Amino acid sequence: MSTAKMIDGKACAAAVKARIKDEAAKMKAETGKVPGLAVVIVGDDPASRIYVNNKRRDCEEVGFVSTEYALDADTKQEDLLALIDKLNADAATDGILVQLPLPKHLDEKSVLYRISPDKDVDAFHPVNVGRIMIGDYRFLPCTPAGVMEMLKYAEISVSGKECVVIGRSNIVGKPMSMLLLHESGTVTICHSRTHNLAEHCRRADILVAAVGVAKLVKGDMVKEGAVVIDVGMNRDENGKLCGDVDFESVATKASYITPVPGGVGPMTRAMLMQNTLTAARLHE
């Protein structure tokens, strides 16, 4: 019976941000350019406000300029699109991030598709999604990129391994599977219609849970010695933050596990900074 080693997302994110800070300082010294991230928030959703504040703090930490555009909840679609157009044309803006979800009356897809692919630091634009598919990418979606960085940090090789991803969302599950495939993993994607989920999971050398169901993955669904990455961010029956993985039972089987909080979450934030730096290089 193994007791899993923890992959510390906070420590990994700190290392990534320290590198980004150095590279941004070098860019400024050599070219005068400072990476700039524009964050657009519409309405006053409290969770979105926390995320936007965190992004501002991350930018300050690595030496980027962050500019916030806070729009009223009843902002019209054409006004939001006009702002995106303005930011697309603005030389000081390297990355544009529209905080989701948008209020119901706005068409999320047309807003995201309006962002220039060269400034699309969330990697949601079809051009960037297509580039990920063919392995010719500039920006990677932040959460899957964060997971890959954590695997690297823990010196876990993906090549030839059985990788099982639970979840097929456009933001996490699908691109996660593609990145594991690019690293030569043998990838299975499970989802809400999958029969015998536990059976698939038990085959995994690397198991990534991106579902949104608290503690779905139990110890008896995990192979002895597997690497278990928990992307989920849920509330348990007591309102406490928890992942998709039942940490206690899985930690006795896995070789590596990521905690929630303090696992994939901080890495997602760090990878947004990475994408903003990449965008600044692109515009240099």
| Contact yes or no for 151/205 (Cβ under 8 A) | no
Q: State the nearest-atom distance from the C-beta of 71 to ligand NAD, in Å.
A: 23
Does 169 contact ligand NAD by CB under 6 A? yes
Q: Which of 187, 244, 161 is nearest to 210 (CA)?
A: 244
Q: How far apart are CA 244 and CA 231, in angstroms?
A: 7
| Binding piece for ligand NAD, criterion CB under 6 A, among 33-41, 118-126, 187-195, 273-281 | 187-195
Which tokens sit at 235?
A: 């509330």
If you count them, how many residues does the chain have?
A: 284
Does 231 contact ligand NAD by CB under 6 A? yes
| Binding piece for ligand NAD, criterion CB under 6 A, among 41-49, 92-100, 149-157, 170-178 | 170-178
* 8-state DSSP, 227: E
Q: Pick between residue 118 and residue 223 the one whose CB is nearest to ligand NAD.
A: 223
Does 194 contact ligand NAD by CB under 6 A? yes
Active site residue 77: no
Q: Which residues pair with 37 in a beta bridge?
A: 66, 95
Q: How far apart are CA 174 and CA 226, in angstroms?
A: 21
| Binding piece for ligand NAD, criterion CB under 6 A, among 29-37, 55-63, 102-110, 190-198 | 190-198
32: part of which helix (H) or strand (E)? none
Q: Which of 83, 145, 143 is nearest to 119 (CA)?
A: 83
Active site residue 55: yes
Q: Pick between residue 83 and residue 228 the one whose CB is nearest to ligand NAD.
A: 228
Does 173 contact ligand NAD by CB under 6 A? yes
Does 210 contact ligand NAD by CB under 6 A? yes
Q: Pick between residue 38 and residue 216 the one whose CB is nearest to ligand NAD.
A: 216
Number of C-alpha atoms within 13 angstroms, CB side, residue 271?
22
Q: Which residues are catalytic?
A: 55, 99, 122
Q: Which residues bind ligand NAD (CB under 6 A)?
A: 143, 166-169, 171-173, 190-192, 194, 197, 210-213, 216, 231-234, 264-265, 268
